[in-house]
Structure 1
Amino acid sequence: MKVLSVFGITQSGKTTTIENIIKELKKRRFSVGSVKEIHFEKFAIDEEGSNTFRHKKAGAELVTARGYYETDILFPKRLSIAEILRFYEQEYVVLEGVTDSNVPKIITAHSIKEIDERLDGTVFAISGRISNEIKEYKGIPVISSIDNIEKLVDLIEIKVFEKLPEFPEKCCGICGYSCHQLLKKIIKGEAKREDCIISQKNIRLTIGDTDITMVPFVQRILYNSVIGIVKELEGYKQHQRIAIEIGEE
């Protein structure tokens, strides 16, 4: 899954940029999902007094509203982006207004000042209203999603890659960088996605249908534990694929 975020202040062109990105990606036959960050403290889809609201107030830990054309699953808490993305299977997911996820980003802005307030090494493009005035800023392309969406999505295909993990540096860092530092290096062309050691794993853990990301230390513990037991069994052959499935009774 490839994930990017488009962020900027209100009326800077975020939603228009995302709409056009989604349309162009779909035109290129990619599957696309999106996540919208709501910057409003009192925001809630579920209205007070509704039947689903009453279910929640009664103590239901998860509430689902199923209609003829839509199904809404209501979590009574704020989920992290990582938790949200577990529900997605699309090739691309576009985040709107999300700044706390370790993904490549596009700034939308009215002015240079707004760009400078948000610019960091995770930004690979600039769009929005400012694209009517400039075409580049500090080496970063400024591209209109209205007049030149093909060029913007061409750049997305080059710069956006399979999502990196978001482990603290003390938990991994085997590639020589934190996950956030590696993202910046990849965007600058100084590293590759394959440099993430976790992508080179020789052991995979899934719970249900969810792929569980493990730091190398945990991978080694699980790998060595399984191999240590299995190699004592008749039929074990070195370098052969081993599959173990565990289901609760």
Structure 2
Amino acid sequence: MKAVAFVGYKKSGKTTTIEKVARILKEKGYRVVIVKSMHVDFDREGSDTWRFSRVADAVLVHAHDTDALLFRAKDINALFSMVSADIFLLEGFKSIKHVPKVICAREESEVRELNDGLGIAVSGVIASSGIREIEGLPVIDATKEPEKLAEIVEKRGFMLPNIDCGLCGFNCAEMAKLIVRGEKTIKDCVVLSSKPKVTVKIDGQVLPLKDWVQELVEKTIKGMLSAMKGYREGRRIEIIIRD
């Protein structure tokens, strides 16, 4: 699963850029999900949906023109896990630190302000000026060369777990910058690249376990089950605990 955030100030061309890139990626057969950051109270206090959300885990809304699922995610990755996608395109999310970014800008100073070490390209309004490179980043006009920008998203997009487990020796923000610079790859993320013997999920989200914890859990469970009828060594074991 890959992700790229398209960041920029108002009227910088984010929406148009994402629209062009998404269309190319869809034509290539990818399942694309666009995530938009909105600075408004979508589910305003006192509304029917707000009242329902106080007593339900989630609220499904059916309207004439669209449908929606209203819920409160614990974090951004938990939000992404609610839908199946090959590539997530994020509009906004300037503060996000564990995915690469396409910087949409109106002038060069905005690129410098927004590039936090995660930039992989520049697009938006400034791309129509004829400038080909800013701060070492390629400037691509998505209205004229959407294929070129889509290719960068396809090749360089990624999303780290955003759990700062430290198993790789870095936090996710540090690792993301190293990947963008080409000093590391997504395979250097222990959580994403390893195939643990023991996997624990809480509400569908994987909880990273260090090797010694995996060994402890494995031996404890196998030890308890070995005396029970029907247990066979080498079989897959699944245990589900519900509150």
Asked whether the two chains share a fold, i.e. TM above 0.5, the reply is yes
Matched with 2:6 is 6
Cα shift at 1:229: 3.5
Residue 149 of structure 2 corresponds to residue 152 of structure 1:
yes
Describe the shift of the 1:179–1:207 C-alpha distance in structure 2 as closer, same or farther (beyond 3 A).
closer
Contact 2:104 2:123 (8 Å CA) reproduced: yes
- Compared with structure 1, are the counterparts of its residues 231 and 51 closer, same or farther at alpha carbon in structure 2 (3 Å cutoff)? closer
CA distance in 2, matches of 1:105, 1:126: 9
Task: Say if 2:191 is the partner of 1:194.
Answer: no
Which whole-Å deviations, capped at 9, do the CAs of 1:10-29 have from their partners, x for residues lacking one? Answer: 11100000101110110101
When structure 1 is superposed on structure 2, of 223-232 and 188-197 the one drifting more is 223-232
Task: Give the match's secondary structure for 1:213.
Answer: strand
Q: Distance in 2 between matches of 1:73 and 1:33?
A: 15
State whether residues 200 and 208 of structure 2, in contact with CA within 8 Å, keep that contact through their aligned partners in structure 1: no
1:244 aligned partner? 238
Equivalent pair of 1:34/1:94 in contact (CA under 8 Å): yes
Does residue 1:98 correspond to 2:93, yes or no?
Answer: yes
| 1:129 pairs with 2:125 | yes
Tell me the equivalent position of 1:37. 37
- Aligned alpha-carbon RMSD (Å): 2.6
In structure 2, the partner of 1:27 is: 27
Unaligned 5+ runs, structure 1: none
Is the 8 Å Cα contact of residues 110 and 130 (structure 1) preserved in structure 2?
yes
Q: Structure 1 residue 53: deviation in Å?
A: 5.0
Instruction: Report 1:209-248 matches (<5 A).
Output: 210=204, 212-217=205-210, 220-230=212-222, 233=226, 237=233, 240=234, 242-246=236-240, 248=242
In 2, distance between residues paired with 1:222 and 1:242? 15
Identity over aligned residues, as a percent?
A: 31
| Contact preservation (8 Å) 2:112, 2:135 | no
Query: Measured at CA, do residues 53 and 244 of structure 1 come closer, stay the same or move farther in structure 2, by a change above 3 Å?
Result: closer
Could you report, residue by residue, the CA deviation over 1:20-51 in whole angstroms, capped at 9, with x for unpaired residues? 11101101010011111113xxx234567764
1:72 paired residue among 68, 74, 84: 68
Report the alpha carbon displacement of residue 207 of structure 1 after superposing the two structures with TM.
Answer: 4.8
Count how many residue pairs are aligned between Structure 1 and Structure 2. 234
SS of residue matched to 1:120: coil
Cα pair distance change 1:243/1:11, threshold 3 Å: same
Amino acid of the structure 1 residue aligned with 2:116: D
- The answer to whether the 8 A contact 1:197-1:216 is kept is no
Q: Unpaired segments of 5 or more residues in structure 2? A: none
1:174 aligned onto 2:167: yes
TM-score by length of 2: 0.84
